[in-house]
Chain A
Amino acid sequence: MWRIIHQFGSPPWVYRFCDKVIPWLMPITIGALLVGSVWGLLFAPTDYKQGDSYRIIYIHVPAAVVALAGYYVMALAGLVSLVWRVKLADTAMRAAAPIGAAYTAIALITGAIWGKPTWGAWWVWDARITSMLILFFLYVGVIALFEAYENKTVAARACAILSLVGTVNIPIIYKSVDWWYSLHQPASIKFTGSSAIDASMLYPLLGMIITFYALFALLMMLNLKQSLTEEYAQSAWLNKRLAA
């Protein structure tokens, strides 16, 4: 057990792991993304109330779900970096930030596009949308804060603290549709009890959620590999590996 945990803190081991997984995770994820989109766009039935505009759900919900889950990844890495001073955790925290920002941007943009034909407005300042916008600023804030410091050890610590404080926002996003009266509908998929969505729409949606998780993992590994290549350009283990 300790050996496994120890390996996660070892840059050469993590680099090799990413190198092994990326070549097969990349085609699978891109393939699943295309299949899921075609399924949602062309094969899933039309919603009887919203018509075809509801098809945005197959991008909007997966992006939003993983944008929230990704924040936990970033905050957890920040915690490990802050408490145990593991340099790799700090790298992981920074790897998660741009992915989270991109996912949140997708959720916000597709939400706006969906809102126009459904609510009649691109943007409303309701609780769910506003708290999602704050999530976007938190992700961008971590990226910007790291760049703002000359001393990267201090920068990493500041980013870790910001991401930990920002965790407060996550339950607010989850509960926003229940706590405040809002245009945004509550979740249709429930872990307990029956979901308020038909199987013909549920399966492509679940498929896309899994795909977006896989894409997050893929992007995480790519960003990690990129950072490790940058940080360890002078190291013997990396030079030997690349020269072979």
Chain B
Amino acid sequence: MYFDSMADALAMGGHGVFVWGAYGISFVIIFFVLLRPVMSIRTLNAGIRQEVLRKQSAQVAQENAS
């Protein structure tokens, strides 16, 4: 590590708030753009699977009736 202690690394010679803040905000933005499609795909897939199962069971019921 370049710094002598973790406290030095946090302080960054008085610029700690700026440096850590910049990284923090960037990671929050990256986290949200990453999470949005992942969650959306999950919800969509669950809906499609449900629909496929519903169609299948409807088909089976129809075959049994005839």
Q: A residues near B, CB below 8 A? A: 33, 37, 41-46, 51-53, 55-56, 59-60, 63, 98-99, 102, 105-106, 109-110, 113-114, 116-117, 215, 218-219, 222-223, 225-226, 229-230, 233, 238-239, 242-243
Instruction: Check if B60 is an interface residue, CB within 8 A of chain A.
Output: no
State the Cβ distance, A15 to closest chain B Cβ, in Å. Answer: 11
Interface of B is mostly: helix
Tell me which residues across on chain A come within 8 A of B13, comparing CB atoms. Answer: 46, 51-52
With both beta carbons as reference points, the residue of chain A lying nearest to B56 in the complex is identified as A243
Instruction: Check if B40 is an interface residue, CB within 8 A of chain A.
Output: yes
With both beta carbons as reference points, the residue of chain B lying nearest to A200 in the complex is identified as B2
State the Cβ distance, A207 to closest chain B Cβ, in Å. Answer: 15
Tell me which residues across on chain A come within 8 A of B26, comparing CB atoms. Answer: 59, 63, 106, 109-110
Q: State whether B23 touches A37 (Cβ < 8 A).
A: yes
Q: A222 and B41 in contact (CB under 8 A), knowing A113-B18, A239-B48?
A: yes
Instruction: Check if B12 is an interface residue, CB within 8 A of chain A.
Output: yes
Q: A226 and B40 in contact (CB under 8 A), knowing A59-B26, A113-B22?
A: yes
- Other than A113-B25, A226-B37, give 16 A-B pairs with Cβ distance below 8 A: A41-B9, A42-B9, A44-B2, A52-B15, A55-B12, A59-B26, A99-B33, A105-B29, A106-B25, A110-B22, A113-B21, A222-B37, A222-B41, A225-B37, A238-B48, A243-B53
With both beta carbons as reference points, the residue of chain B lying nearest to A115 in the complex is identified as B18
Instruction: Check if B1 is an interface residue, CB within 8 A of chain A.
Output: yes
Tell me which residues across on chain A come within 8 A of B12, comparing CB atoms. Answer: 51-53, 55
Q: A229 and B48 in contact (CB under 8 A), knowing A53-B12, A109-B22?
A: yes
Tell me which residues across on chain A come within 8 A of B22, comparing CB atoms. Answer: 56, 59-60, 109-110, 113-114
Tell me which residues across on chain A come within 8 A of B48, comparing CB atoms. Answer: 229, 233, 238-239, 242
With both beta carbons as reference points, the residue of chain B lying nearest to A102 in the complex is identified as B33
Q: How far is the CA of A60 from the CA of B9 in the complex (A)?
A: 19
Instruction: Check if B59 is an interface residue, CB within 8 A of chain A.
Output: no
Q: State whether A229 touches B19 (Cβ < 8 A).
A: no
Instruction: Check if B44 is an interface residue, CB within 8 A of chain A.
Output: yes
Mask: chain B, 1-15; 1 = CB below 8 Å from A; 0 = not: 111000001001111
Q: State whether A239 touches B52 (Cβ < 8 A).
A: yes
Q: State whether B19 touches A55 (Cβ < 8 A).
A: yes
